[in-house]
A and B are shown apart, each in its own frame.
Chain A
Amino acid sequence: MSVKSIKKGFFFMVGLLMAATIISGCANRGGDNQKSTSSQAITTPIGQYPIETEETLTYWGVLNTNTAKNYTNFADTPIGKELEKKTGVTVKYIHPAQGQQQEQLNILLASNDYPDIIESNWTSGYPGGAEKAIEDGIIIPINDLMKFSPNYERELSGIPGLDKMARTDSGKYYVYATIRKNYEESIFWGPMFRKDWLDDLGLEPPTTIDEWEKVLIEFRDKKNATAPFAVRANQANGSMLLYGAIVGAYKTELSWYTDNDKIYFGPYDPQYKDFLAIMARWYKQNLLDKDFPMADKKSIESKVLSGKSGAFIGLIGSEMGTYLRVMQEKDERFDLIGAANPTLSKDEESFSGAANLPFYYYFAAAITTHCKNPELAARWLDYGYTEEGAYINNFGVENESFVIEDGVLRYTDTVINAPVEENMLARYDRFNGPYVALILPATSEQTMLPQQIQAREAFKKNMPVYRGYPPLTFTVEESERLSNIMNNINNYANEMRTKFIMGTEPLENYDKYIEQLKSMGIEEAVKIQQDAYIRYQNR
């Protein structure tokens, strides 16, 4: 190789590098410019589909893990295609990497260049809440757009109290949330037991804490269960799935809860100590999984399937259903049964439970300040709240995945009889987003095992009242103060709960723990929450 050719090659590479930078720069800029064409008025009457328009929308949102097994973009799914056909609007979906959506959203928001619609948890996920997101110039209030969304407006007034949840304190509507039409049916989790073990031992599913203890002792002694009761504990935001079922017996919660117009922080309650005491006792007697602070979905599954655990708090679908289907092949006797949350005495009702709000705001679509045509966005989003749109989002394509016979909606055989690996049911479900979520008895019967239906019935007893956290709004100062206090407190309360249960911190120190919470500002946090709750009730 001559020196000259090397020299030439070098210049060539440098030139190439720079050219590449410049070209790709120009190419993309060109793309940006195209976006800013002015929007024409839409002539289609409100509430009628398809909408006649040339314009497209950009939509940022998580692609559900189940959907991602078969598709790379929501637009490619049967539901996405059907929606495009019916609404007449082409939507470009942008999906963040799963498990990283919070990080990715935060970067997107910080960069000040947003798609038209962002689907996220605007109610409690954005620091400072919805009011702050509006003030920060990220999303727009949709009060003025409600006239383009008659179906959403109708759904909001259809369920008592729902309208209140959808607004901020100052009366702003801000998202198109998932509406759980039959939210009383939306019960997903609760305590579950090995039914075959209970039968062998001649036991009934326990209803009180004392009975639980008896059952767990029997499991340990007669069934050689090394971790009779398995719970998931280290899940940052899924505290409902923790020992939530047990804590309810003591008339408290693991986090904030409401009771008689007042808001409380469970780990600051005096009765919380009794809960810790029983858990510590179970831990000491090898009734509670020794590795519980590290437990996750997989380790629970492993313990239940290998017969180390006989009781757990599980999800009806992805846990109970999976375990039963998988174990049917290996061990015919393996069986599970769901039971209501335990209480202290027989005739009580469980304090804590599985009830849900009809306003599900974790995957709610908001229109951003960068949206070129908010009217189109509002009209398009409204489709999910029409009857037809709700069916598509929930059950897929009519005559392909579902049929309506005598007014009853049923899945077709293509869906029901497909092998599990085909993932058919998941292909025809959107899972989350701005629409009316439906649970229909007929489809449940088709897709669920009898044990699952029994479990859901059993869990219905759990709690008639929703005691969890309503969608409160805070002022900017309040939310900053609250997050400063609560980040530290949550961490500390978690740490101490684990230590109290494991016995590394004796329960005699409970008063010290309460003192520490006080010094960290819990009283102030309670007051902020209480004020916001009063405002919420007065909406």
Chain B
Amino acid sequence: MKTSFMEKTFISVIYLILTLLTLVTLYPVVYVLFASVSDSTLLLQNSGLLLRPLGFQFGAFNMVFKHPLILRSYGNTLFVVIVSLLINMLLTCLAAYVLSRKKFRYKAQFMVFIIFTMYFSGGLIPNYINIRSLGLLDSYWALILPTAINSFNLIILRNNFESLPDSLIEAAEIDGANDYHILFIIIIPLSKAVLAVITLYYMVGHWNSWFSAMIYIQDRAKFPLQLVLREILLIGDTSNVVTDIGDSSAARESVKYATIVIAIVPILCVYPFLQKYFAKGTLIGSVKG
């Protein structure tokens, strides 16, 4: 083929760019990893690139696990993420399905009903008062229920459901399938890729969230991991002093990074499992443009 030289260059350029990009985006991760096993003092003295651990040690991880809250908050986060995900996926699928059906009469109205909430909200205080009046204050449900549906994810999922061929659904309806059947047995298996993305979005959202916990959770034993992580990262920036006591524990700088490592490892492990759904050709049949 005469284009083969062009094609080869084209592909090589893509490989080159991707390799560079991979190296560049790898750096922050490597930085955190190396920093977590480095000697704190050497770490502070160092100012350039961090290309290897400085004075190898694992003391930071020891200290992290000794922290009174980290392991506990890990469990809290896991609980909240798992329960949230179940509710999220169920409700989002239901809503997306209904809003994707042509036969549903008030589709446009409901879309506006939903999109409106993406832009207008009561704000912090009324939300807080609402949660309190529902009796959810200081409970895990305050972290789970208010985020039961994310409108952004709902829209993405609905658009995906909508793009599935009508003929599939029509055929099922002629066979006598009802809406639950169509959703759970026909549509969901066909939308694995986008469902994987949505799951990921929800999961990461819950995993990283700290703001609602900061507002609604008072009992420190119920803090999620990210809130504890923030406290550790921001330690030592207090400007008011009554009695100024020295904090000379040698590992304090690397402890910050060790905490980050243990906070991101689980979420990184999830990706490869979801990745397989992004392989080509999961969808059988044609796609409507």
Please list the residues of chain A having a beta carbon within 8 angstroms of any beta carbon in chain B: 1, 3, 6-7, 10, 13, 17, 20-21, 24-29, 63, 65-66, 68-73, 94-100, 103-104, 107, 110-111, 113, 178, 180, 186, 188-189, 235, 237-238, 241, 296-298, 301-302, 305-308, 315-318, 320-322, 325-327, 329-330, 360, 362-363, 394, 420-421, 423, 425-426, 429, 431-432, 437, 439, 447
Contact = CB atoms under 8 A, between A and B. Distances in A.
Given A10-B180, A20-B141, A28-B136, A360 B242 contact: yes
A63 B240 contact: no
Interface of B: 40-41, 44-47, 63, 67-69, 72, 87, 90, 94, 124-125, 128-129, 132, 134-139, 141, 145, 177-178, 180-181, 184-185, 210, 213-215, 218, 220-221, 223, 227, 230-231, 234-251, 253
Given A97-B230, A235-B239, A21 B247 contact: no
Nearest to A326: B41
B68 A25 contact: no
Contacts of A25: 134-136
Contact of A363 (B46, B227, B242, B247): B242
A28 B139 contact: yes
A68 B248 contact: no
A421 B252 CA distance: 10
A24 B141 contact: yes
Contact of B241 (A73, A298, A315): A315
**Shortest 10 CB-CB distances between A and B: which pairs?**
A321-B246, A238-B239, A28-B135, A25-B135, A317-B244, A306-B45, A325-B248, A99-B234, A72-B220, A302-B44
A326 B250 contact: yes
Contacts of B125: 107, 110-111
B245 A318 contact: yes
B77 to A, nearest CB: 15
Contacts of B245: 66, 317-318, 425-426, 429, 431, 447
Contacts of B223: 97
Given A103-B214, A431-B243, 9 more contacts: A3-B177, A10-B180, A68-B231, A99-B231, A241-B239, A307-B45, A317-B241, A318-B244, A425-B245
A364 to B, nearest CB: 11
Contact of B236 (A29, A103, A237, A297): A297
A107 B135 contact: no
Contact of A305 (B45, B135, B180): B45
Contacts of B134: 21, 24-25
Contact of B46 (A1, A235, A306, A321): A306
Contacts of B242: 178, 180, 186, 360, 362-363, 431-432, 437
A291 to B, nearest CB: 10
A57 to B, nearest CB: 15
30 contacts: A6-B181, A21-B145, A25-B135, A63-B220, A73-B220, A95-B220, A97-B210, A97-B214, A98-B231, A110-B128, A111-B129, A188-B241, A237-B239, A305-B45, A315-B241, A317-B246, A321-B246, A322-B247, A325-B246, A326-B40, A326-B248, A362-B240, A363-B242, A420-B248, A420-B250, A423-B249, A425-B245, A429-B243, A437-B243, A447-B245
A3 B180 contact: yes
A316 B244 contact: yes
Contact of A315 (B128, B220, B244, B249): B244
Nearest to A316: B244
A274 to B, nearest CB: 27
Contacts of B47: 302, 306, 308
Contacts of A321: 246, 248
Contacts of A70: 68
A370 to B, nearest CB: 14
Nearest to B134: A25
A71 B220 CA distance: 10
Given A27-B135, A315-B244, A69 B67 contact: yes
Contact of B185 (A1, A7, A97): A1
Q: Which of A6, A29, A99, A180 has the most CB of B within 10 A?
A: A99
Nearest to A31: B135
A123 B73 CA distance: 35
B41 A3 contact: no
B133 to A, nearest CB: 8
Contacts of B230: 97, 99-100
B237 A99 contact: yes
Contacts of B248: 321-322, 325-326, 420
A528 B166 CA distance: 72
Contacts of A103: 214
A35 to B, nearest CB: 13
Nearest to B246: A321
A144 to B, nearest CB: 28
Contacts of A3: 177-178, 180-181, 185
B44 A107 contact: no
Contacts of A94: 218
Nearest to A17: B87
A327 B138 CA distance: 44
Contacts of A296: 237
Contact of A24 (B40, B72, B135, B236): B135
A457 B22 CA distance: 55
Contact of B135 (A26, A241, A306, A318): A26
Given A13-B90, A439-B243, A330 B41 contact: yes
A159 to B, nearest CB: 16
B109 to A, nearest CB: 22
Contacts of B237: 99, 296-297
Contacts of A237: 239
A318 B246 CA distance: 4
A73 to B, nearest CB: 6
A97 to B, nearest CB: 5
Contact of A113 (B45, B132, B239, B249): B132
Contact of A6 (B40, B184, B249): B184
Nearest to B184: A6
A426 B124 CA distance: 35
A107 B239 contact: no
Contacts of B231: 65, 68, 97-99
B40 to A, nearest CB: 8
Given A111-B128, A302-B45, A360-B242, A318 B247 contact: yes
Q: Which of A13, A103, A318 has the most CB of B within 10 A?
A: A318
Nearest to B94: A10
Nearest to A435: B242
A26 B135 CA distance: 7
A445 B239 CA distance: 25
Given A1-B184, A29-B135, A188-B241, A322 B69 contact: no
A23 B134 CA distance: 10
A109 B244 CA distance: 30
A301 B46 CA distance: 11
A104 B215 CA distance: 6
Q: Which of B40, B45, B234 has the most CB of A within 10 A?
A: B45
